[in-house]
């Protein structure tokens, strides 16, 4: 594309030189025009000739070639170069938008595992995931991506499932639980018995969906190509008739005169304004969208938006911020500052997003000398000794197991109940925050005749339904993996009208 841009710039400079500077020699001027034409137009002429040999005669390349050569034939050298320049500039702008979009989706393939640590003959071997057999044991260390689906047979850990579900909250797994390929192991070492070969694994199926997504889309021809298919042969036939018929039926009519008129007709008939205006108008729309942070992959997508009936949203990072933050602190018999401090100290050694969000909300330096003991209670929370106080931080199960009377919080999100010396002292609510402009975006879509707004999420049912209700969405589907989201989108595609379009809105991690 860069090379094409340089050619256009050189051709424009030569065109302006020939147009504005009088060399007092028409031959020199015409030679400059020809050189400019060769630089910018030879590619189109080659395409036209190649397509003719393949039986595809009447396309926009043929139209440009016939019109410009016709212009040269009647001595209108500037017009010949200008027509080709206009066309190439429009094509350059469209190519620029498409090329930019390709780069933006290249990172979609980052869930592919690079290797698998297989336990064979008492030793760990690093092999390609394709070479791992069913029921073999693989070892996944902290920070590594799980390469194949299976069950945990030893160890426990937290998994980052964002690549599959789009949700920021890690999933706790222990012995006997199923794990899916594509997730990242955050802390403990786990051993997994493989239940699916790589070709049948979750990550392989997701990659297949991404790789084949474009093959399911119809490659609609642009308007100029459709127009040229009918317009070009009509113009050429009329020009041929204009050159041949009058001399045969009109007395004293000269063939050379009517040939000149036929060539003039070809030049006049070349839809220069249409050829340049359509690509430029689309590029103007794409450029305007990019100024407010929207990248449109091509003009066909921009055109499709006009017929959109259904808009499907992902939740995390799209309608919500995608970052867990402390939303509420409810203290009983102590101050909110004291409650936040005691939980921050208890979570000091945690790299879990929940713990990190509490420490961020506390925002002060932690005196680790006051942290006497910290014990992680799997599936429950944390038991710690901060200074002289025994502290419990965790979920409802922890409070019930330790027989601590507490007031249940019905807010949507992750709730950390806190007890000091066996006495309930309050809770901290941590949740993903709805974006400030999400509500107005949904309202504006409905004002612009969008018939249905839908949200798909891998999050829990109560969380998803709460967000959907707050935003005024028409439908919500929860607890979905990527393949489940694809199936829901395919179902929604069947519900729209024949001419209507469906748009999906989500961030690149989905």
Joined tokens for residue 433: 């925050």
Supply the pLDDT for residue 166.
61
Give the 3-state secondary structure percentages of the chain, helix then strand then coil, rounded to 5. Answer: 50, 20, 30
Give the model confidence (pLDDT) of 104-146 as tens digits: 444 445 667 889 999 998 889 999 999 999 999 999 999 899 9
Which of 266, 221, 228 lies closest to 60 in space, CA to CA? 228
pLDDT band at 509 (very low <50, low <70, confident <90, very high): very low
Question: Which residues are bridge partners to 163 per DSSP?
Answer: none
Catalytic residues: 314
Q: What is the largest CA-CA distance in the chain?
A: 119
Order the strands of the 178-179 sheet from edge to edge: 123-127, 116-120, 137-140, 190-194, 150-154, 178-179
How many residues are there in the chain? 510
Q: Which residues contact 186 (CB under 8 A, 6 or more apart)?
A: 142, 143, 157, 158, 159, 160, 170, 351, 352
**% residues pLDDT > 70 (the chain):** 84
User: What is the per-residue pLDDT across 395-408, written as a single tens digit (0 to 9) for each?
Assistant: 888 999 999 999 88
What is the average per-residue pLDDT within 359-380? 87
User: Is 298 in a helix, a strand, or coil?
Assistant: coil
pLDDT at 483 over 60: yes
For the entire predicted model, the pTM comes to: 0.47
Label each residue of 344-381 as H, E or C: HHHCCCCCCHHHHHHHHHHCCCCCHHHEEEEEEECCCE
How does residue 217 score in pLDDT terms, banded at 50, 70 and 90? very low
Q: ∠ CA 495-501-507 to the nearest 5 degrees?
A: 105
**pLDDT at residue 378 in the model:** 75
Domains of the chain: 2-106+220-285 (no CATH), 116-214 (2.70.150.10), 306-319+435-505 (3.40.50.1000), 323-433 (3.40.1110.10)
pLDDT one-digit tens code per residue, 413-451: 788 999 999 999 999 998 877 888 899 999 999 998 899
């Amino acid at each position: 594309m860069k090379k094409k841009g340089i050619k256009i710039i050189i051709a424009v400079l030569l065109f302006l030189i020939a147009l504005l500077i009088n060399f007092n020699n028409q031959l020199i001027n015409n030679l400059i025009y020809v050189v400019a034409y060769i630089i910018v137009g030879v590619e189109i002429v080659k395409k036209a000739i190649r397509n003719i040999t393949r039986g595809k005669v009447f396309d926009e390349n043929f139209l440009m070639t016939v019109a410009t050569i016709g212009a040269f034939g009647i001595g209108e050298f500037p017009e010949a170069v200008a027509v080709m320049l206009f066309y190439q500039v429009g094509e350059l702008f469209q190519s620029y938008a498409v090329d930019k979009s390709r780069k933006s989706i290249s990172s979609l393939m980052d869930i592919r595992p690079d290797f698998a640590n297989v336990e064979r003959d008492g030793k760990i071997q690093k092999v390609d995931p394709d070479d791992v057999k069913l029921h073999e044991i693989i070892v996944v260390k902290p920070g590594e991506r799980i390469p194949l689906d299976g069950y945990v047979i030893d160890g426990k850990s937290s998994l980052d499932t964002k690549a599959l579900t789009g949700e920021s909250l890690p999933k706790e797994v222990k012995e006997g639980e199923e794990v899916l390929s594509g997730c990242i192991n955050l802390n403990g070492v786990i051993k997994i018995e493989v239940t699916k070969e790589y070709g049948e694994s979750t990550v392989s199926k997701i990659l297949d969906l991404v790789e084949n997504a474009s093959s399911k889309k119809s490659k609609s021809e642009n308007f100029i190509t459709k127009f040229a298919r009918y317009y070009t042969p009509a113009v050429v036939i009329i020009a041929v008739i204009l050159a041949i018929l009058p001399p045969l039926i009109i007395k004293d009519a000269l063939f050379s005169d009517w040939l000149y008129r036929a060539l003039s007709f070809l030049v006049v008939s070349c839809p220069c304004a249409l050829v340049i205006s359509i690509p430029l108008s689309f590029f103007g729309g794409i450029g305007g969208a990019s100024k407010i942070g929207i990248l449109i992959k091509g003009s066909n997508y921009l055109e499709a938006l006009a017929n959109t009936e259904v808009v499907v949203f992902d939740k995390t990072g799209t309608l919500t911020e995608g970052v867990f933050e402390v939303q509420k602190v409810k203290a009983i018999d102590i101050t909110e500052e004291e409650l936040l401090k005691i939980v921050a100290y208890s979570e000091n050694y945690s790299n879990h997003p929940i713990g990190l969000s509490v420490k961020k909300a506390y925002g002060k330096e932690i005196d680790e000398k006051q942290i006497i003991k910290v014990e992680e209670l799997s599936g429950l929370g944390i038991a710690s000794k901060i200074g002289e106080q025994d502290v419990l931080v965790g979920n409802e199960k922890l409070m019930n197991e330790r027989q601590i009377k507490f007031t249940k919080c019905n807010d949507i999100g992750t709730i950390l109940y806190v007890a000091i010396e066996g006495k309930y002292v309050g809770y901290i609510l941590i949740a993903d925050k709805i974006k400030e402009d999400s509500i107005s975006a949904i309202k504006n879509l409905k004002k612009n005749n969008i018939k249905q707004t839908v949200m798909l999420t891998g999050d829990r049912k109560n969380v998803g339904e709460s967000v959907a209700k707050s935003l005024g969405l028409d439908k919500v589907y929860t607890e979905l993996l990527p393949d489940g989201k694809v199936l829901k989108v395919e179902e929604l595609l069947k519900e729209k009208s024949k001419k209507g379009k469906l748009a999906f809105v989500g961030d690149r991690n989905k």
